[in-house]
């Protein structure tokens, strides 16, 4: 099988996945307790006012008709207007999505910067003091909930030392980065622990391989052996794990953005669920599903680059 055929097959797999996610989220959203019309008008609204608003929002139609309309709008890239904010859903998400994208990207960079060098140190000093200290430190981060880590970081570095802002997003690119350092670090801590442990185990497995011994026997410099043979092959499993963790990062962003008052799509999702804002919930779920699917595809392509045997 050629790589082009493999890539087309992977792209086609995304279509039924998104369709299934769309059906599930549509059903679950309409099973949420409460009524958006009642929450918008209040408990003392007249039946006529409730009926008029329900008709104007299209909620008087059957679920089948609402689902067909939802699919049609999704294919057009238009998800209607937000019931809670009164503006187009696409515009609302476009305002919030870059915030979460920057937060997630910063968390990935921080996790990789922490995990890769420390995994090398731990693997090359296996079962010695540096290895034990690194694993213990990361185990603490892995076992700590994101909201707890976020509160500790806020208390120490924002409220006490006042090195970072308590929350918000700031204005301007550098100010955005400054405001997102603490939430990104809180989001990256558990991911960096997982990546470090996985990469350490992979390095220990690769470093004992016969082709590594052969490379050393040829007189290749130790640094070249580590980076050209050991790291490249050890990274294959870690890249897969990193790609699979993007969905967890987006889920963790919901908690992180709530703790740090970051105006991203995670916080928007929470607010929309409480407000019973069906169009926003459905659109956000589909868009995040597309982002995760594309990330998985990019992960597979990167694996193919690292290991040319994949996709043949």
**Annotated domain spans of the chain:** 89-306
Low-confidence ranges of the chain (pLDDT < 70): 1-4, 6, 34-36, 38-43, 45, 209-216, 218-219, 221-223, 228-229, 306-312
Residue with tokens 């994949």: 310
What is the predicted pLDDT for the residue at 106? 92
What is the predicted pLDDT for the residue at 308? 59
Q: Show the CA angle centred on residue 19, arms to residues 57 and 28, nearest 5°.
A: 55
pLDDT digits (tens, 9 = 90+) for 170-185: 888 889 899 999 999 9
Task: Assess contact for 309 and 115: CB atoms under 8 A.
Answer: no
Residue with tokens 């045997």: 309
What is the predicted pLDDT for the residue at 286? 86
Handedness of CA 226, 232, 234, 235 (dihedral sign): positive
Residue 81 DSSP one-character state:
B
Task: Please tell me the pTM assigned to this model.
Answer: 0.81
Task: Assess contact for 275 and 83: CB atoms under 8 A.
Answer: yes
What is the predicted pLDDT for the residue at 169? 84
What is the predicted pLDDT for the residue at 34? 66
CATH superfamily of domain region 89-306: MetI-like (1.10.3720.10)
Dihedral through CA 124, CA 126, CA 132, CA 138, nearest 10?
60
Taking the C-alpha atoms of residue 73 and residue 58, their distance in angstroms, rounded to an integer, is 13
CB atoms within 10 A of CB 29: 19
Q: Residues near 29 by Cβ (< 8 Å), separated by ≥ 6?
A: 278, 281, 282
What is the predicted pLDDT for the residue at 1? 54
pLDDT digits (tens, 9 = 90+) for 96-105: 989 999 999 9
What is the predicted pLDDT for the residue at 107? 93
3-state secondary structure of 54: helix
């Amino acid at each position: 099988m050629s790589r082009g055929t493999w890539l087309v097959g992977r792209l086609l797999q995304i279509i039924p996945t998104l369709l299934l996610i769309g059906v599930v989220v549509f059903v679950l959203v309409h099973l949420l307790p409460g009524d958006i019309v009642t929450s918008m008008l209040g408990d003392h609204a007249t039946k006529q006012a409730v009926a008029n608003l329900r008709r104007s929002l299209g909620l008087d139609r059957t679920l089948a008709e609402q689902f067909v309309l939802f699919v049609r709008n999704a294919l057009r890239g238009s998800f209607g207007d937000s019931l809670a904010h009164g503006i187009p859903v696409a515009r609302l998400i476009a305002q919030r999505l870059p915030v979460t994208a920057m937060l997630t990207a910063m968390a990935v960079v921080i996790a990789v910067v922490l995990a890769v060098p420390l995994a090398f140190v731990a693997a090359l000093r296996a079962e010695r003091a540096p290895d034990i200290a690194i694993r213990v430190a990361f185990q603490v981060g892995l076992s700590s909930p994101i909201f707890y880590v976020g509160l500790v970081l806020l208390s120490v570095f924002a409220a006490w030392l006042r090195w970072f802002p308590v929350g918000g997003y700031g204005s301007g690119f550098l100010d955005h980065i400054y405001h997102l350092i603490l939430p990104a670090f809180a989001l990256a801590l558990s991911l960096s622990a997982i990546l470090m442990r996985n990469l350490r185990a992979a390095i220990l497995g690769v470093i004992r391989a016969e082709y590594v011994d052969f490379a050393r026997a040829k007189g290749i410099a130790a640094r070249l052996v580590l980076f050209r043979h050991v790291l490249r092959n050890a990274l294959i499993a870690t890249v897969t794990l990193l790609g699979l963790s993007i969905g967890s990062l987006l889920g963790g962003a919901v908690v992180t953005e709530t703790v740090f008052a970051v105006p991203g799509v995670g916080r928007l999702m929470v607010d929309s669920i409480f407000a019973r804002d069906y169009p926003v919930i459905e659109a956000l779920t589909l868009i995040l599903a597309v982002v995760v699917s594309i990330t998985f595809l990019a992960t597979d392509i990167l694996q193919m680059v690292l290991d040319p045997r994949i996709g043949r």
